[in-house]
A and B are shown apart, each in its own frame.
Chain A
Amino acid sequence: MSETCDGAALAPPLLDYTLRLADTALILGHRLSEWIGHAPVLEEEMALGNIALDLIGEARALYSYAGAVEGKGRDEDALAYRRDAGGFRNLLLVEQPNGDFAATIVRQFLFSAFAQPFWRRLAASRDATLAAIAAKSEKEAAYHLRHAGEWLIRLGDGTEESHRRAQAALDELWPYTGELFERDAVEDPLIAAGIAVDPETLRAEWQRTVSAVLAEATLEAPERVWMQSGGRSGRHSEHLGHLLATMQFLQRTYPGATW
């Protein structure tokens, strides 16, 4: 555990917090990797693969840290491959299926518009390890946001068909954006200690980015929507179990297998 976070009382919330970040990065990375072999053009295949690689790299660093904070000998593989759906703490947004290309891009855009300012703030965390991971991740998130933003404008302000699909994806995924800004008893002591980011401080910037891009894309955010919740506490949509069945297959079938 990092020297700047010495309070034993903070270890349990720090573990939960780190797992939430790690799980979110891993699940979104895995979702994007599902496009490999199916992307609309070769350049996009490489882009989605590259973004997936960044996210899985971020997840690996976060899992290694979570394992160290927990102190029970679990490594990144144990945390990624040997926990069940109820143990995962990722945002519901990132476990939603890829759908069509518009759905993948909308999901990436809504997430990245949050992730970039989030990592920027976390880079100032008093926890040295989280700060180091965040400083790297922020630079990567900038590319992810630009890529998804450019595509969203092309799709929304493109053909009638691409506009219809982009708007449908936005309507479908918008209810999962409320969870980005949730704060609970896990974060409270960590925010007080200068370790975690208060998500409310990111809302204005997220809204500015989203509004600007949606306006250029001629898309409209739905209003007065019931926001979904639960991923961060382990209550997931049915999609996560199916994803894990694929992602964890090898380690479940041949526990401890290595290359």
Chain B
Amino acid sequence: MTAAGLRERALEAAAHVFDPEIPVLTIGDLGVLRDVRVVGDTVEIDITPTYSGCPAMRVIELDLDTALRAAGIDKFRISTVLSPAWTTDWLSPEGRRKLATFGIAPPAGQASRRGLFTSDSVRCPRCGSAETERLAEFGSTACKALYRCRSCAEPFDYFKCH
């Protein structure tokens, strides 16, 4: 197989690996998949953690490993890179849409350095109301906060702008 063909096959396999904690998003949607290269006869894949302590990274590595082997690729190397630091700005438009459909409010706006006590203005993913309030800065995973909608009274996860 040509290098381009091998890369295409690896890319296709990697694109179908889902985030274990937000199973509607692929690692491509999330921006966790940074690069797929072919060096000689080896596929090299770079992934980057969302947060430093993200426990999903090991599972993602394992799932990538499985997906590549299932695609008939057995010479590969998966590396974790830290720079440039992951940001929610890398979430694909498709990823944002899938998040909202899944009931998780996508990040509001662009990532930037924030003031000490500023907070994001977040729309309810169920009813679309802007009348929401933050219940907890830290939600069920490192990348989410817990909000509540004052219009429809439903609590929801918010994928923090980061």
Contact = CB atoms under 8 A, between A and B. Distances in A.
Contacts of A58: 52-53
A146 B137 contact: yes
A131 interface: yes
A136 B140 CA distance: 20
A52 B55 CA distance: 12
Contacts of A193: none
A147 interface: yes
B124 interface: no
Which label, helix, strand, loop or mixed, suits the secondary structure of the B interface? loop
B101 to A, nearest CB: 25
Interface in B137-162: 137-140, 142, 146, 160, 162
B114 A50 contact: no
Interface stretch (A80-88, A91-99, A137-145, A237-245): A137-145
A142 B82 contact: no
Given A131-B83, A132-B82, A133-B82, A146 B116 contact: yes
B140 A46 contact: yes
Nearest to A143: B137
Nearest to B82: A132
Candidate in A131, A137, A143, A209 with the most chain B CB atoms within 10 angstroms: A143
Nearest to A123: B85
Interface string A140-156: 10110111011000000
Interface of B: 49, 51-55, 81-86, 111, 113-114, 116-117, 135-140, 142, 146, 160, 162
27 contacts: A43-B138, A46-B140, A50-B138, A53-B53, A53-B55, A53-B142, A57-B54, A58-B52, A58-B53, A60-B53, A61-B52, A128-B83, A129-B82, A132-B85, A133-B82, A135-B83, A135-B84, A136-B86, A137-B52, A139-B111, A140-B52, A143-B160, A146-B116, A146-B117, A209-B116, A212-B116, A213-B116
